[in-house]
Amino acid sequence: MNTATAKPRLTTSAMIASIAAEGQRTKPAPFGHALVELARSRPEVLGMTADLGKYTDLHIFGAAFPDRYHQMGMAEQLLMGAAAGLAHEGFMPFATTYAVFASRRAYDFIHQTIAEEDLNVKIACALPGLTSGYGPSHQATEDLALFRAMPNMTVIDPCDAHEIEQVVPAMAAHKGPVYMRLLRGHVPLVLDEYDYTFELGKAKVLRDGADVLIVSSGIMTMRALEVAKELEADKVAAAVLHVPTIKPLDTETILREASRTGRMVVVAENHTVVGGLGEAVAGLLLRSGVTPVFRHIGLPDEFLAAGALPTLHDRYGISTSVMTERIKGWL
């Protein structure tokens, strides 16, 4: 075989099972395992999906509790309406699909059958923000904006496997509808190295620093912690405030941290710059008369490209290296 003429292999990760970097510590299917654990003591918990059980880690629940698992077919509107019906009868359905399908296709069903009646449906959706290389059909870049705008809805964007394990029982403890951004497969394990416990509605300082305050949610908190370490090498002290609950926002903690003088505030989100955590924080600060130097890292208001995730994260400015450089440029 003539290897000399072989073409170089192109970088690709169009549909990868995990957003973990190579060599990163991970935990398999934390959502599925946490839900099984929860269901042992909560007989009202059910699992429902629209032909994405295997792709949202719900198949683990289905294997453990086959008689409490409802495959609703590739029909997201039906999935949400039927989940409302089961909640109406006193059950607590965890309904899973991709974030694009819940937020775009099934929005009215969630709005009218679940949120308007404040029913106890838990919606967990994979591929949030830019975590798929398939292009706009699979990139839920506006899910937080849409669900933030929906009355009664609680919105959670967890960072890693450690947090997801705690979010699942917290979703159940909260009465009412919840939307959770789901990380699936081999999910990075980051927050176990910090003294961190998830509390619904609470933002938490993961590390302190006098020069920059990075306010972030979801996988951007993982990035923010990496950025803070890189900035440290340049003698820049960056604090990281993790805001996993997008709604209701922990206004008290955000205002307290943003009010500390001399710190630039950078909000970093895996979401379009329209209507997500960045604008939520900006609006809060402005309404409260807190006006630090404010910068915003998020996805552009455009249909994003298909391709390999590391390439796309670099291109759209949410990779660790690009974030570090931008923040240094702002200082």
Partner 1 sequence: MDTTPLGHNVALSERAYRIRRNAVRMGEVQGQGYIGQALDIADVLATAYFHAMRYRPEDPEWEERDRFLLSNGHYAIALYAALIEAGIIPEEELETYGSDGSRLPMSGMAAYTPGMEMSGGSLGLGLSIAVGIGLGLKRKNSTSRVYTLFSDGELDEGSVWEAIMSAAHWKLDNLIGIVDVNNQQADGPSTQVMAFEPLVDKLEAFGWHVQRINGNNLDAVVAAFDTARGDVGPKPRMIVCDTRMGCGVPFLEAREKNHFIRVDAHEWQLALDALDAGRTA
Using CB under 8 A, which of 116, 192, 211, 325 touches partner 1?
116
Distance, in Å, from the CA atom of 218 to the CA atom of 51, rounded to the nearest integer, reads 25
Q: Are 272 and 141 in contact (CB under 8 A)?
A: yes
Contacts for 156 with CB less than 8 Å, ≥ 6 apart: 167, 171, 178, 179, 180, 181, 200, 244, 245, 246
Among 8, 66, 90, 329, binds partner 1 (CB under 8 A): 90
Closer residue to partner 1 in complex, CB, 114/238: 114
| Residue among 213, 330, 224 at smallest CA distance from 270 | 224
Min separation Cβ 72 and partner 1, Å = 6
Q: How do the residues of the chain divide into helix, strand and coil, expressed in percent and rounded to 5?
A: 40, 20, 40
Q: Give 80 or 246: the residue with its C-beta nearer to partner 1.
A: 80
Which of 96, 113, 120, 166 is close enough to bind partner 1 by CB under 8 A? 113
The answer to whether 149 contacts partner 1 (rule: CB under 8 A) is no
CB 143 within 8 A of CB 181: yes
Judged by CB under 8 A, how many residues of this single chain contact partner 1? 25
Q: Can you read off the two tokens belonging to residue 160? A: 């890693």
Does residue 112 touch partner 1 according to CB under 8 A?
Answer: yes
- Tell me if 246 contacts partner 1 by CB under 8 A: no
Question: 49 Cβ partners below 8 Å, 6+ apart?
Answer: 56, 58, 70, 71, 72, 79, 95, 96, 97
We find the least distance from the C-beta atom of residue 113 to partner 1, in angstroms, to be 6
CB of 245 within 8 A of CB of 156? yes
Applying CB under 8 A, among 13, 18, 64, 75 the residue interacting with partner 1 is 75
Question: Among 16, 64, 78, 282, which residue interacts with partner 1 (rule: CB under 8 A)?
Answer: 78
Identified binder of partner 1 from the candidate list 14, 73, 197, 302, rule CB under 8 A: 73
Q: Is 176 in the site for partner 1 (CB under 8 A)?
A: no
**Which CB sits closer to partner 1, 87 or 309?**
87
Q: CB of residue 73 vs partner 1: minimum separation in angstroms?
A: 7
Residues 137/107, Cβ–Cβ less than 8 Å: no
Residues forming contacts to partner 1 in the complex (CB under 8 A) are 70, 72-73, 75, 77-78, 80-91, 93, 108-109, 112-113, 116-117
